[in-house]
Amino acid sequence: MTKFTDPIGFSKLDAYRSCPQKFKYAFIDKLPQPGSPAMERGSKIHDDAEAYLRGWITALPEPLSNWQDEFDALREAKCLPEQAWGFNRAWELLPNWLHPTTWLRAKSDAHYIQGDTLIIIDFKTGKYRVPSTEQIELYAICGSAVYPSMEKVTAEFWFVDADNTYTKQYTKAHLVELRKKYENYFAPIYADETWKPAPSRECKWCNFSTSKDGPCQY
């Protein structure tokens, strides 16, 4: 029986919920998966955002140029772009997310402090879609763990193609209470030894499906 022992994160939780066998192929067997033009574009937009916020470039390329005022405000607020956080099981921030005791990994696209509030932002590309409440919740929990003195955390998704935002605000006390919820979400992933498939309409897009010459029977 094979067990998962690597650090967890929201994308892995999402993959496990979709199909445990798909999770095994991707994160235990680490079978290669092809990229896509959308993924490459999203990566470039994130790189452009970081470069502007760090002052490496002086002009925002499209579609970020439509957010000029917002990005200038981030620079004025001295935001920190592209921060990779690693936490141990006590939700303590580690020196880096490659530390041997890393249990959870999260990345902040941009964040800054305003009074007693941490504002943490995730840039999204593509069409606007109602975001996962749990994804933004987990970002807020991680931000609060990094900045425990902050009384509030405002977590935002910026849909840079759709010119739209999604915002939620949390109190520190609430975020500490929510930690147990995610510990319970992650626990079955570490306990699983069977990695049963969960066939659905999503199979036709899965890189591991039989229709794409993958190892899965579906």
Structure token pair of residue 52 = 């502007």
Q: Which of 96-100, 129-133, 212-216 tops mean pLDDT?
A: 96-100
Measured torsion, CA atoms of residues 125, 130, 131, 134, in degrees rounded to the nearest 10: -170
Q: Compute φ and ψ for 212, nearest 5 degrees.
A: -110, 25
Contacts (Cβ under 8 Å, ≥6 apart) of 97 = 7, 84, 85, 86, 105
pLDDT number for residue 130: 74
Secondary structure of 47-114 in the HEC alphabet? HHHHHHHCCCCCCCCCCHHHHHHHHHHHHHCCCEEEEEEEECCCCCECCCCCCCCCCEEEEEEEEEEE
In the sheet where 117-124 sits, what is the strand order? Answer: 80-87, 104-114, 117-124, 152-159, 164-171
List, for residues 114-169, the tens digit of each pLDDT value: 999 999 999 999 887 777 789 999 999 999 999 999 999 999 999 999 999 999 99
pLDDT number for residue 56: 97
Contacts (Cβ under 8 Å, ≥6 apart) of 206 = 19, 22, 212, 214, 216
pTM tops 0.85? yes
CA distance 17 to 72: 38
Place of tokens 């069409």: 127
Residue type, 102: T
Residue type, 194: T
Q: How many residues does the chain have?
A: 218
Q: Angle at the Cα of 135 (from 132 to 137), degrees rounded to 5?
A: 110
- Determine what percent of the chain is predicted with pLDDT higher than 70: 100
CA distance 93 to 106: 11
pLDDT number for residue 189: 98
pLDDT above 90: residue 181: yes
Output the average pLDDT for the chain. 95
CA distance 149 to 152: 9
Structure token pair of residue 184 = 């319970």
List, for residues 29-75, the tens digit of each pLDDT value: 999 988 889 899 999 999 999 999 999 999 999 999 999 999 999 99
Structure token pair of residue 200 = 């659905």
